[in-house]
Structure 1
Amino acid sequence: KYGGADQQTFLEMLDKAIKENPTATIYIKTHTDVINGYKQGFITNNLNNNSVILFSDDINPISLLKHVNKVYVVTSHMGFEALLLGKEVITFGLPWYAGWGLTDDRHKNIKSLKHNNRRTEATITELFAASYILYCQYINPNTGKKGTIFDVINYLIKIKKLNNKLRGSVN
C-alpha cells in the first residue's frame, strides 16, 4: 500500500520480466513476510509459465543475487541489496532507493518525486551512507549502549568466527 502498489503491480512486474527476458529463466523469491504468514503473496498463485521458478524457502538474498543479472522488484529491499552488488534493478513500486538515478523506475508517480525536488542523482555509496550510517541507530551488542554500524559488524564477525570454531559433526 505505502509503496504505491497492489496485486496488479506484481503481475505487471512478472509480465514485464518475462517479456523483456524471453530466453531467461525467471526466479521469484517469495518475501519472508509471505513465507511466515504475515502478508499475502500476489504472484505465487499466478504462476503458469515453465520459465518461472519460485523460491519459497527462507534463503539469504545475497546467495541468490550472486547468480542473476537483473532484478525486478516492487518495493523489496532486495533491490537495494542487488544495487550494492552492481546488478541492474527495475522497480515497479516506490521503494526508498528508487528515483535517485540508480534504478529503472516504472512506477507512474516516480517522476513527481523528481520534479518536486525530493530526489536528485545519488551514488550507491551515498545511498548506503544515508541508509546504513546516517539514518539507522545502532546499539553496541557488547555494552547495550548507543553504538555504530562498525560495532555491530565487528560483533557479527566475532560471533561467526566463534560459531565456525565450535561447529562440528556427529560421526
Structure 2
Amino acid sequence: MKKAIVVLRKSWKNPYVREYLKDYDSVVIYKSEKNIRYHKSVDYFFWANDIHNDFVAKYRHESNFFFFEDGFIRSSGLGADHIRPLSLVFDSQGIYYDSSCASDLESIISHYELTRDEYERARALKTLLIEHRVNKYNIDLSIKPTIESNGQKTILVVGQVESDHSILRGASVIQTNEKLLALVRENNPQSFIIYKPHPDTLVSARPGAVKEGCFYDQLVEKGSILDIFGQVDEVHTITSLAGFEALLRNIPVFTYGMPFYAGWGLTHDHYTCSRRERRIDLETLLFCALVKYPVYAGNDGQPCEVEEIIHLISKEDHQVSFSTKLLRTKRNFLKFLGFKF
C-alpha cells in the first residue's frame, strides 16, 4: 500500500493536494507535524514554507521526504484568493526559491542537456506564452497601463510580499521593497523608475507597502505586468518570478537576491551562488523550469502538459468573482481586528 502523509496548515488547499497525489492509495493530511511519526515506508510532503520544526530538521534528507509549492504558471487568480493551482512543484532536496541550499530545479538546470526536439519545444513554448499573454497569476489582463517616461531610460522595479519565503530564503541583504527602490534610484539617478507592487499586498494587506513617491516616478497598481514589459528597458527585482517572465521577453533583468533563474549567465546579479557554475541558454532555463520541474493538472484534476494549461488559461474569464471579492473583504476586516493568517 502506497501511503502519503501531508502537513498542510491551510485546510482550503486539502482537496487539490489530494488530486495531485492521486497515485497514492492513502493520503492523510495533518495541520501540524506534532502528531506524526516517521516510517520508511511512507512518503512525507511538507508545504515548503512550513519547514521550521524538529521533524523536518531530522528527516528532510531522507529519500521519502518532499517539499512542495505552487508552480510558475499557477492559475487565473491569486493563491491569496484561494484559487486552485494548475501546477505544483515537488522537490526532494529543498525548494526552488531557497538559494541557501540545492533544489531539484537547480540540479536539473546544472546538468540537463536538451535534445533537438526539446529545443524546438522550448522555443514553441516561449512563443505560446507570449502570444497567449500567460504568466503566473493572469490577473488585470483587461487594463492597459500607460508609462509616462518621456524618452528616458525606463526601469521597472517589481514589488514583492516582504514576508514571503522567496525573500526570506532567497535574499540576504536587500529584503524590502523600499531598500530595492533606493538602491535602483542610487544607481540610476537619471532613469524613469516605475514601481509595480505585488498584487497580494494590494488585495490582502500582506507586508510590502512602500511610502508614496518612494524613489519611483510612477506607481502602477492596476494592469498586467505583461503590458508594462513592452514599455521598459530593464526589470529590477529581488527574487520575483517577474524577472523570469521578463527574460522570456528578452528584457535585461537585474536581481538583488538569488532567484532560481539567476546565476546562470542570463541575468545581471547583485550576488553570486557558488553552486551555479554552468552557463546556459534561455531555452534550457525555460524547459527545465516549465517542463521538467512542475506537475500540471487541469480543472478536472487530471494530469496534463504545460501547453494544455496555457491554452486553458487563455480561454478563461479573468474577472474577479463575487465570492473572491467577499473573501477579500472578510479577510481584510479580520486583519484590521488583529487576526493573523
- TM-score by structure 2 length? 0.40
Question: Which of 54, 72, 77 lines up with 2:241 in the alignment?
Answer: 77
How far has the Cα of 1:119 moved from its partner?
A: 4.0
Q: Distance in 1 between matches of 2:279 and 2:294?
A: 21
1:52-131 to 2 correspondences below 5 Å: 52-57=217-222, 59-107=223-271, 110=272, 113=273, 115-116=274-275, 118-131=276-289
Q: Which is further off, 93-102 or 146-155?
A: 146-155
The aligned residue for residue 45 of structure 1 is 211
How far has the Cα of 1:46 moved from its partner?
A: 6.5
Q: Distance in 1 between matches of 2:242 and 2:279?
A: 21
Helix, strand or coil for the counterpart of 1:81?
Answer: helix
- Contact 1:102 1:123 (C-alpha < 8 Å) held by counterparts: yes
- Contact 1:91 1:98 (C-alpha < 8 Å) held by counterparts: yes
1:22-37 to 2 correspondences below 5 Å: 22-37=189-204
1:125-144 to 2 correspondences below 5 Å: 125-141=283-299, 144=301
Taking only the aligned residue pairs, the percentage that are identical comes to: 27
The aligned residue for residue 163 of structure 1 is none
Letter of the 1:121 counterpart = R
Change (3 A) 1:122 1:157: same
Letter of the 1:101 counterpart = G
Give deviations 1:53-105, integer Å, cap 9, x for gaps. 12222x21111111100111001111111111111111001211111111111
Instruction: Give the number of the structure with larger relative contact order, counting CA–CA contacts within 8 Å between residues 6 or more apart.
Output: 2
Letter of the 1:129 counterpart = F
How far has the Cα of 1:36 moved from its partner?
A: 2.1
Letter of the 1:25 counterpart = F
RMSD (Å), alpha carbons: 2.5
The aligned residue for residue 165 of structure 1 is none
Change (3 A) 1:48 1:30: closer
Change (3 A) 1:147 1:38: farther
Change (3 A) 1:119 1:31: farther
Task: Report the structure number with the largest CA radius of gyration.
Answer: 2
How far has the Cα of 1:7 moved from its partner?
A: 6.0
Q: Distance in 1 between matches of 2:175 and 2:240?
A: 16
1:154-169 to 2 correspondences below 5 Å: 154-159=311-316
- TM-score by structure 1 length? 0.75
Give deviations 1:106-141, integer Å, cap 9, x for gaps. 03xx2xx2x33x441111111110111111111144
Helix, strand or coil for the counterpart of 1:27?
Answer: strand
Matched, 1:147 2:313: no
**Structure 1 portions without partners, runs of 5+:** 161-171
Q: Distance in 1 between matches of 2:198 and 2:229?
A: 14
Q: Distance in 2 between matches of 1:12 and 1:48?
A: 10
Helix, strand or coil for the counterpart of 2:254?
Answer: strand
Q: Distance in 1 between matches of 2:176 and 2:315?
A: 42
Letter of the 2:190 counterpart = T
Letter of the 2:282 counterpart = I
